[in-house]
Chain A
Amino acid sequence: MKLSRLRRWSGETLVVGIPMVWLLVFFLMPFIIVAKISLAQSAVSIPPYTAMFEWADSRLAVIFDLSSYVWLTEDTLYFDAYVNSIKIAFFSTLICLMIGYPMAYAIARAPAANQPLWLLLVLLPSWTSFLIRIYAWIGLLKNNGLINNFLMWIGIIDDPIQMLHTPFAVYLGIVYAYLPFMILPLYANLVKHDQSLLEAASDLGAKAFTIFTRITLPLSKNGMVAGSMLVFIPVVGEYVIPELLGGNSTVMIGKVLWQEFFNNRDWSVAAALAAIMVAILIIPIMLFHRYEQKTLEEEAQ
């Protein structure tokens, strides 16, 4: 009896244990190290930061060096970068929602036989290269790019409009790249709606618009939250889009972190920037996780 229980237990332990250990080592532990290094000072050494523990004269000193965090408050650049990142992430999420919702709705209400193909068409771009899709916009938005050339050719403008390296380009790039991530969870939610609910509402005399605002919209709340989080959270830390399309016009925290790390080689400031970013994003991430769980529970019923 004991033996068979043990054997069953060890089988399950392996199934849980292998991925659990992997995630603990390669996902959770890095964050602890980020927190530790953010509490060090940058130094000319390998690796380029000071140690947290010092052993001298039989005394163990644990040093929490807050200089990196102090440094972040001394220059408004960092604060502005955080605020700007959140602002850009918020508004681009909103735009994605406004474009993505009707699209997801159209797919979910299409004839069942067409739905897989339509969904495929929406998702296909996101399976090609992200970098290359952003790159495509450079050629379109440049001063001597296709859009400006076209507008000048038909005579609407005489001089090229500056579009690349503006906030507009950043918004455009974000919406372009992240739209599929908004549509997928929204579609998954909308397609599950019970059609008879809508029929019941219309049977009771509700107008199409009322049905939409009073029934469809509230029922799709989980899908909207999931989609919005899938866009908002990664966009806050976005690096490629502000780098390629924003130029010097937009300061976003992902780019600042990159520059601190690769250009200034200040690891502890980069770590402090990352730690603060995690602190900001932890609530949206937990929200996302909770709605995922909720959706699963609803499906289980």
Chain B
Amino acid sequence: MRNFSFSRFMFWAGLTFLYLPMFILVIYSFNESRLVTVWAGWSTKWYGELFQDTQIMGAVKRSLEVAFLSATSAVFFGMLSSWAMVRIAKFRGKTLFGGMITAPLVMPDVIIGLSLLLLFVAFTQLTGWPRERGMLTIWIAHTTFGMAYATVVISSRLREMDASIEEAAMDLGAPPLKVFFAITLPLIAPAVASAWLLAFTLSLDDVVIASFVTGPGATTLPIEVLSSVRRGVSPKINVLASLIIFAVSMVTFTVWYVSRRLEKNRQKAMADDFLIE
């Protein structure tokens, strides 16, 4: 019992540690003062200023675009590689494949960024493609590490799923592609959705890799934020941070609430059933 209450204490202390700085950040985003650390009364004026800032707004738009595209392609590749890892017992190069799909999870960003940039430069030199670095190269980079995360999420769901459900569909006359779209996809859909969200946030968040592989005119939000932070603390960044925290929290809790409701309904339906019988 002593053990238990100690860990509980650590849990709440740890949560406080994780949330307090973010909480203070949000409070100070409503600060009137230009000086971030001096409180000068409540105001929402920096929110207005942020939306006036065309440079930041442009970066937001580009980041959302690239995150949307790379999350989508990452999930597509993630589904293929999950299927390969889980459902195909063995194929040539499976060990190498497994290694390449887990390594991006831990590989430091500076290495991925630098090596991809050098690849793009070498490509341009040899083939003339890509003509210039920018959104396309960021999309490729983000797809590559996004698919590693997507594979982790999707393959764990696929592994839990009873393979005989797919076999049953095939047994009843559905060809492989039909099985995938009618049976597998609906059953792994929640995992596909969370893999997409994960790849999306990872892409939105990446500054190091994007800094390496980007080119003129393709400044994403994190690159913009980093250069602004290097110049010093700015109230606009506080506002931006608050908005990001707010958006992520909203999406997360909505997803959590909906999935809990669904689960509760299901359990209730089952309970009702046993009462009737």
Q: A24-B100, A37-B118, A237-B111 are in contact. Are A136 and B256 (CB under 8 A)?
A: no
- Selected from A136, A144, A261, the residue in CB contact (under 8 A) with B241 is A136
Interface 1/0 per residue, A1-40 and B, CB below 8 Å:
0000000000110011011101110111111011001000
CB of A133 within 8 A of CB of B21, answer yes
CA–CA, A250 to B226, complex, Å?
19
CA–CA, A121 to B253, complex, Å?
10
Chain B, Cβ-Cβ closest to A258:
B110
* Residue in A37, A233, A237, A254 whose Cβ sees the most chain B Cβ within 10 Å: A237
B57 at the interface (CB under 8 A from A): no
Q: List 24 A-B contacts (CB under 8 A).
A: A18-B80, A19-B81, A30-B116, A33-B115, A33-B119, A47-B122, A102-B14, A103-B11, A116-B260, A120-B252, A122-B18, A125-B18, A129-B244, A137-B21, A142-B233, A149-B37, A176-B17, A179-B18, A240-B226, A261-B114, A274-B114, A284-B106, A285-B106, A289-B99
CB of A27 within 8 A of CB of B104, answer yes
CB of B84 within 8 A of CB of A19, answer yes
B245 at the interface (CB under 8 A from A): yes
CA–CA, A28 to B238, complex, Å?
39
CA–CA, A23 to B248, complex, Å?
30
CB of B22 within 8 A of CB of A136, answer yes
Chain A, Cβ-Cβ closest to B124:
A47
Q: Tell me if A's interface is mostly helix, strand, loop or mixed.
A: helix
CA–CA, A299 to B86, complex, Å?
13
Chain B contacts for A296, CB-based, 8 A: 159
CB of B80 within 8 A of CB of A239, answer no
- Selected from B21, B211, B229, B248, the residue in CB contact (under 8 A) with A127 is B248
Chain A contacts for B33, CB-based, 8 A: none
Q: Which of A54-62, A74-82, A105-113 contacts B (4 or more CB under 8 A)?
A: A105-113
Residues of B within 8 A of A (CB): 1-4, 6-8, 10-11, 14-15, 17-19, 21-22, 24-25, 28, 36-37, 77, 80-81, 83-84, 88, 91, 93, 97-112, 114-116, 118-119, 121-122, 125, 140-141, 143-144, 147, 159, 176, 198, 201, 204-205, 207-208, 211-212, 222, 225-226, 229-230, 233, 237-238, 240-241, 244-245, 248-249, 252, 256, 260
Q: A131-B222, A258-B110, A288-B102 are in contact. Are A102 and B91 (CB under 8 A)?
A: no
- Selected from B17, B84, B109, B226, the residue in CB contact (under 8 A) with A234 is B109
CA–CA, A121 to B17, complex, Å?
12
CB of A106 within 8 A of CB of B7, answer yes
Chain A contacts for B109, CB-based, 8 A: 234, 237, 239, 254
Chain B contacts for A163, CB-based, 8 A: none
B21 to chain A, nearest CB (A): 4
Q: In the complex, given contacts A239-B208, A240-B226, what are 10 additional A-B residue pairs having Cβ atoms less than 8 angstroms apart?
A: A16-B88, A16-B91, A27-B103, A116-B260, A132-B244, A180-B18, A230-B106, A254-B108, A271-B114, A292-B102
Chain B contacts for A31, CB-based, 8 A: 115
Chain A contacts for B19, CB-based, 8 A: 125
CA–CA, A240 to B141, complex, Å?
18
A135 at the interface (CB under 8 A from B): yes
A220 to chain B, nearest CB (A): 13
- Selected from B84, B99, B101, the residue in CB contact (under 8 A) with A15 is B84
Chain A contacts for B141, CB-based, 8 A: 26
CB of A128 within 8 A of CB of B103, answer no
CB of A131 within 8 A of CB of B205, answer yes
CA–CA, A212 to B91, complex, Å?
42
CA–CA, A139 to B229, complex, Å?
11
Chain A contacts for B115, CB-based, 8 A: 30-31, 33-34, 274
B64 to chain A, nearest CB (A): 13
